[in-house]
Structure 1
Amino acid sequence: MRFPLVLFASLLLTACANSGTGQAPPETVGKVDLARYQGTWYEVARLPMFFQRDCRESEAHYQLRDDGRMAVTNRCRTVSGKWKQVQGEAEPQEAGQTDKLWVRFDNGVSRLLPGLTKGEYWVLSLDDDYRVALVGHPNRKYLWLLSRKPNLSTEQRDELLTVARQQGYDTSELIWREGE
């Protein structure tokens, strides 16, 4: 009788370990007017990620296309002071649901395996004027604090950090833009 109980307990622990944090997915803003969202957004802070490891200043440029997708240009100034950029596109994960997007950047891997190279871009917070946004990945490993200006007011910063923490993101590892 012990072996089946030990086996059951092991399987249960394995299932729990593989379920991640056990948290529900983060809540998004519900709907984003992509026409108002387009334009330039400055990254004020981010959680560490491999693709941005050499970036000191980052910005994203979004342009709504006729087909409802967004053209995306991400660029950053590296530690050496040079600018590098990548082109991509964003599209709703579900038709009409504009707060959860798939983002894919144009590179060799994405051309070979287009279905495997899409990243999830969830808009978690967005002010009424489309001036400040909080964007994350549902696994909570990626997070960006974005603004139409390179810096945030203390009030805006605190509000975004509060939302991020309430949504289950660890903000202790944020990398801040110089001057923040």
Structure 2
Amino acid sequence: MLRTLCAGIAGILAGCSTPTPMPPVAHVDLPRFMGDWYVIAHIPSRWERNAYDAVESYHLLPDGRIQTDFSYRDGSFDAKVETMHPVGTVQPDTNNAVWGMQFIWPIKAEYVIAYLDDNYQTTIVGRSKRDYVWIMARVPCLPDDVYARLVRKVGELGYTESLRKVPQQCKR
């Protein structure tokens, strides 16, 4: 009985453990990061589950915060465009790689830039809980080999859930 009780307590405590922090990139040049990023694939939040043509746009505000406009079509390419407007705040001493993203005051969700290529063309944004992740690019569609490499990187960051590839209207 004592073993069962101890095993149960150990299981509860293991469930309460803090996740391994999401490793951020070494540095983000904020002005260079600003602009449009197409959401290529993700583990979506509730609002994004059926997103088509998803785009995250960042604009640096005079006070250093980041105005974000997330636009998408819900369920099809023909649906009307929905938009959300969270504001990002760069966390101190993170070299601009960790933000608090505020959708509803006073809650700020963790937003970690975990991968960013040298040319600022592809990025992966994640969270330490490994509950959400976004692969984004400056173009709406990526070559298969680039996409596969980014998906592998998401796995290396500790994600185990399958990604949803976001339908984007690609001009080929």
1:141 aligns with 2:92: no
Counterpart pick for 2:113 among 111, 123, 129: 123
Alignment coverage as a number of residue pairs: 168
1:75 aligns with 2:71: yes
Q: CA RMSD in A?
A: 2.1
Match of 1:38 in 2: 34
Match of 1:84 in 2: 82
Q: Normalization by structure 1: what TM-score? A: 0.83
CA–CA separation in structure 1 for the residues paired with 2:137 and 2:165: 15
Larger Rg: 1
Q: % of aligned pairs identical?
A: 26
1:157 aligns with 2:147: yes
Q: Normalization by structure 2: what TM-score? A: 0.87
Any idea what the Cα deviations from partners look like across 1:70-125, whole Å, max 9, x if unmatched?
111111112252001111211112245311111112xxxx2xxx23x311111111
Secondary structure class of the residue paired with 1:97: coil
Counterpart pick for 1:168 among 134, 158, 161: 158
Structure 1 residues 57 and 138: CA distance shift in structure 2, 3 A: same
Q: Which has the higher helix share?
A: 1
Counterpart pick for 1:17 among 15, 18, 26: 15
Matched-pair contact (CA < 8 Å) for 1:133–1:145: yes
**Which ranges in structure 1 are unaligned for 5 or more consecutive residues?**
none
Aligned residue type for 1:89: V
Matched-pair contact (CA < 8 Å) for 2:53–2:169: no
CA–CA separation in structure 2 for the residues paired with 1:164 and 1:84: 27
Aligned residue type for 1:11: I
